[in-house]
Chain A
Amino acid sequence: MKATTKITAKAAVKPASKLTNKKPARPERCLDFKTVWNYKASPESAESAKLEKRYELFIDGKFVPPSDGAYFANFNPATEAKLCEVAEGSPADVDRAVKSARAAFEGVWAKLPAHERGKCLFRLARLIQERTSELAVTETLDTGKPIRESRAFELPLAANQFFYYAGWADKLGFAFPGRRPRPIGVVAGVISWNFPLLMAARKLAPALAAGNTVVLKPSKTAPLAALKLARLAEEAGFPPGVVNVVTGGKATGEALVAHEGVALVSFAGATETGKAIGKALAGTARRCALELGGKNAYLIFEDSAIDQAVDGIVDGVFLNQGPVLSASSRLYVQESIAKVVVRKLRDRLETLNVGDPLDKNTDVGALPTRELLQRVQAHVKAGLAEGVTSYQADQQVPKKGFFHAPVLFTDVAQSHRLTQEEVFGPVLAIQTFRTAEEAIEKANNTPSGMASGVWTDKGSRIFSIARQLKTGVVWANAYNKYDPTSPAGGCKESGLGRDGGLHGLASYVELN
């Protein structure tokens, strides 16, 4: 990490004229996507989010002000306008939340008949479905992601997470044959800003179904979904203290991770933070489950359904503008079809609508913070300095707001920063390969191992390659297909434990 940061600094001071960036000429037979007929802006109303001016902490079933009265401002990354104020939880608040969760765990939740716990989860799932519009608009305002993705991807997945684990609540005795699962106590859910609602659901649902209570610490960048979820949990009839939400920054998160009353830290986010959590918990009896990032590879073989493989990579790397733990930011294409794949990708880029995330026709929205935007910009600049060929669609991105148009890089080398470092932005690095062995070797040549994708029409090849890829998930002829019934998680530096399915439940129980 440190060594590469130094290279950025160097690249940044290089005068622009010395950049060896080659702009490719437009191919001879070019499709023209600047059409006479266009979709007009069709924005969802921001009012549907029903945002309050100020959000408090949710502790012991009540919204309470932070003990030292501190609040931070929350912004809409697409307009840079202030949305609301959110409480900054102090270590004292964290302590209060963990104690309330502990009391609820010992006093109510673990003692409740299992089917009653299931009912609460089912009710919460239904409430999420009923408030889809409100929650989707909130997600989009808070994170900058397109409303289409909030509504069609994140919301249904979040609701299904609760539906699925609600079913396990009264069947825990059958989940692990021959063993008796018991809840472990207070779970700290520390989650990232890229899918705030989905991540909250992925941590809350299995933890609650197993009989644990939770203190959720959403990211400071996107805290609203968790707060809305807290209100829904209250409506769904969860006893006070079972679900707590403490908002705040790094200090709040550290206080929660360090708290002795927490039995398990379930974290989703940056690899560096995950490592720090692992270190903090080392030598204690407290556990962690980590869902971390990855520089994920996507392999396209020459016998693939090429057009669908191209759709798959576009969804794989540009979903959520790029910040997805499983984003397929490295593309390996078999040499014989590389030209046509790149040309098709370029044409697809032209048809992606970048802009107002609330517009129902927007494909790529805004990045959630200025820091991330600057990091992506620095990364792209460093990429150009490495002498690769870049391609960006010929379209305007809004001046205000943290927008970055999708970029493709070709002529990339395995040693380039573009291949090595997780960008968390809409940036795709393309390399070619000749043999399957070469593709597998390059795909595995990274410290991370979150997910990968294989495209080929040959069934036998799918199985042989999937066995050799060192990632937690391998998608065949598809990408970013999440389902609560199926476990997902990382190998190597991409994580510890699994989310989803029966495996996801295992992190949240003590087996004896």
Chain B
Amino acid sequence: MTTSPPVDQLGIEERIARLGSRTIKKESKLEALKLALSMIDLTTLDSKDTPGKVRQLCAKAIRPYEAMPDLPSVAAVCVYPNLVRVAKKALQTMAPGCRINVAAVATAFPSGMSSLKFRLEETRWAVQEGADEIDMVISRGKFLAGEHEAVADEIRAVKEACGEAHLKVILETGELGTLDNVRLASDLAIDAGADFIKTSTGKIQPAATLPVTLVMLQAIRDHYYRTGKRVGMKPAGGIATAKLALQYLVVVKETLGQAWLQPDLFRFGASALANDILRQLVKERTGVYQSLDYFTKD
């Protein structure tokens, strides 16, 4: 039975406000922008997604901005299971041997409202198709009904179905109501074997927020203190600007330190963020903001 310490919401908000007052300028900003870019799970999760769109996304993932070839690639591309094979092939063709992962959302994403049998089946299929990472959703209904052990069992089952693939557990914090619930769900997911915990599907508002992320990072920290195991973190949804991404990095830096300041343990689930980071990078280099028309929309 997982028990969690209480969370003081005002305290969390105050800490976020405090961390938000950090000033990041010049070289420090440049370094952070590149770091943030390398942490992106470049995402497309529309039901109208096409193989063509996914291939374009992969091209962007490999080389985000043609005019600045020294920029890092992003960490992964994130798609629906039926497009995993397309993404995998596109990456291998365009950049053989690249380290960009393919992540698939699975388990009846985004609601999770299906039988466990189908959700496990979908997970196994996504892995077979070539997914390196699985982004699953928890049963929020069960969690809110107090069936915490059932939620944990499901996560354990999905983890097993993942095999070698990394498991990211989406808590959908926008539906959990309180920070206490966010903390409990984080602890449940971590104890059940999550490699990453993730805030949101991006289909529900509010999606990722800084307070929610801090609570989840604190759960990760406590787990590390107890076991020495490092669990990753992925805020997703609503992080569209470079400025906001840097604030997330500040929170990671001052909560968990160096080990988490890399794409192995921290990711941004985002689509529009990459272009805003590129725009800021170009601005740092040239001194002027370019029109968004200069950046590819994929």
Chain A interface residues toward B at CB < 8 A: 28-29, 31-40, 42, 148, 152, 303-309, 311-312, 340, 343, 350-351, 360-361, 457, 477-478
Of the A-B pairs whose beta carbons lie under 8 Å apart in the complex, a sample of 17, sorted by A's number, is A29-B225, A33-B254, A35-B253, A36-B258, A37-B28, A37-B31, A37-B32, A37-B249, A39-B24, A39-B28, A40-B26, A307-B11, A308-B12, A311-B14, A350-B257, A360-B22, A478-B11
With A36-B261, A37-B249 as contacts: A477 and B21 at CB distance below 8 Å:
no
With A29-B225, A37-B32 as contacts: A308 and B8 at CB distance below 8 Å:
yes
B46 lies within 8 A of chain A by Cβ:
no
Which residues of chain A have C-beta atoms less than 8 A from B28's C-beta? Answer: 37-40
Q: From B6, B224, B261, give the contact of A35 (CB < 8 A).
A: B261
Per-residue A-contact encoding for B202-224, CB less than 8 Å = 1, 0 else: 00000000000000001001101
Binding site of B, secondary structure by majority: helix, strand, loop or mixed?
Answer: helix
Q: Give Cα A29–Cα B253 distance, bound, in whole angstroms.
A: 17
B35 lies within 8 A of chain A by Cβ:
yes
B7 lies within 8 A of chain A by Cβ:
yes
B291 lies within 8 A of chain A by Cβ:
no
With A35-B253, A35-B257, A42-B25 as contacts: A303 and B11 at CB distance below 8 Å:
no
Per-residue A-contact encoding for B99-128, CB less than 8 Å = 1, 0 else: 000000000000000000000000000000
Which residues of chain A have C-beta atoms less than 8 A from B265's C-beta? Answer: none
Q: From A31, A35, A340, A360, give the contact of B21 (CB < 8 A).
A: A360
With A36-B261, A39-B22 as contacts: A304 and B6 at CB distance below 8 Å:
yes
Which residues of chain A have C-beta atoms less than 8 A from B11's C-beta? Answer: 305, 307-309, 311-312, 477-478
Q: Look across to chain A and name the residue whose beta carbon is closest to the beta carbon of B29.
A: A40
Q: Give Cα A163–Cα B32 distance, bound, in whole angstroms.
A: 41
Q: Is the CB of B254 within 8 A of A457?
A: no
Chain B interface residues toward A at CB < 8 A: 5-8, 10-12, 14-15, 21-28, 31-32, 35, 218, 221-222, 224-225, 228, 249, 253-254, 256-259, 261
Q: How many A-B residue pairs have CB under 8 A?
A: 88
Which residues of chain A have C-beta atoms less than 8 A from B10's C-beta? Answer: 308, 477-478
Which residues of chain A have C-beta atoms less than 8 A from B15's C-beta? Answer: 308, 311
Which residues of chain A have C-beta atoms less than 8 A from B257's C-beta? Answer: 31-35, 350-351
Q: Give Cα A467–Cα B6 distance, bound, in whole angstroms.
A: 24
Q: Give Cα A306–Cα B5 distance, bound, in whole angstroms.
A: 7
Which residues of chain B have C-beta atoms less than 8 A from A309's C-beta? Answer: 8, 11
Not counting A32-B258, A32-B259, A37-B31, a sample of 6 additional A-B residue pairs whose C-beta atoms are within 8 angstroms of each other reads A29-B228, A37-B28, A40-B25, A42-B23, A351-B257, A361-B23
Q: Give Cα A34–Cα B32 distance, bound, in whole angstroms.
A: 15
A-B residue pairs, 9 tightest by C-beta: A308-B11, A305-B8, A308-B8, A42-B23, A40-B28, A360-B23, A457-B6, A31-B257, A33-B257
Which residues of chain A have C-beta atoms less than 8 A from B249's C-beta? Answer: 37
Q: From A304, A343, A361, A477, give the contact of B225 (CB < 8 A).
A: A343
Which residues of chain B have C-beta atoms less than 8 A from A31's C-beta? Answer: 221, 224, 256-257, 259
Q: Look across to chain A and name the residue whose beta carbon is closest to the beta carbon of B252.
A: A35
Which residues of chain A have C-beta atoms less than 8 A from B259's C-beta? Answer: 31-32
Which residues of chain B have C-beta atoms less than 8 A from A38's C-beta? Answer: 28
Q: Is the CB of A39 within 8 A of B23?
A: yes
Q: Give Cα A162–Cα B237 distance, bound, in whole angstroms.
A: 43
Q: Is the CB of A37 within 8 A of B8?
A: no
Which residues of chain A have C-beta atoms less than 8 A from B218's C-beta? Answer: 307
Q: From B7, B32, B256, give the contact of A305 (CB < 8 A).
A: B7
Q: Give Cα A340–Cα B218 distance, bound, in whole angstroms.
A: 13
Which residues of chain B have C-beta atoms less than 8 A from A33's C-beta? Answer: 253-254, 257-258
Which residues of chain A have C-beta atoms less than 8 A from B26's C-beta? Answer: 40
Q: Give Cα A152–Cα B22 distance, bound, in whole angstroms.
A: 13
Which residues of chain A have C-beta atoms less than 8 A from B24's C-beta? Answer: 39, 42
Q: What's the nearest-Cβ distance from chain A to residue B133, in Å?
A: 24
Q: Look across to chain A and name the residue whose beta carbon is closest to the beta carbon of B259.
A: A32
Q: Look across to chain A and name the residue whose beta carbon is closest to the beta carbon of B253.
A: A35
